[in-house]
Amino acid sequence: MRTRIVLSLITAAALVGPAAAQPAQRGGVRSETESRLVEGGDPNLVWNIIGLFGLLGLAGFLRGHPDDSYHPASME
């Protein structure tokens, strides 16, 4: 019984997915995304630079030495 339910859900998802992915006609009015794509430019450049700064920030988490930690060793 469980197998039949799973198979029917997978079949339903396979049939509904492509139909839902079809672009809807908006009566000739372009969306904001379509307008930006027509205008051109490289919007990925800004995000690439932001990502580069993020990766450089992650480099600060690298340990320089195995004994480096937030809590220093006890005094002996």
Tell me: the pLDDT tens digits for 7-29?
888 888 877 766 555 666 667 78
HSE, side-chain direction, 13 A CA sphere, residue 47:
3
Q: How far apart are CA 30 and CA 24, in angstroms?
A: 11
How many separate domains does the chain show?
Answer: 1
Whole-model pTM? 0.32
N residues, the chain: 76
More confident residue, 48 or 39: 48
Is the Cβ–Cβ distance between 47 and 41 less than 8 Å?
Answer: no
Does residue 55 sit within a domain?
A: yes
Does residue 47 sit within a domain?
A: yes
pLDDT, position 22? 60
Does residue 13 sit within a domain?
A: no
Does residue 7 sit within a domain?
A: no
pLDDT, position 74? 66
More confident residue, 66 or 5: 5
- What is the extent of the structural domain holding 40? 32-60
Among 12-16, 17-21, 30-34, 36-40, which stretch is predicted with the lowest mean pLDDT? Answer: 17-21
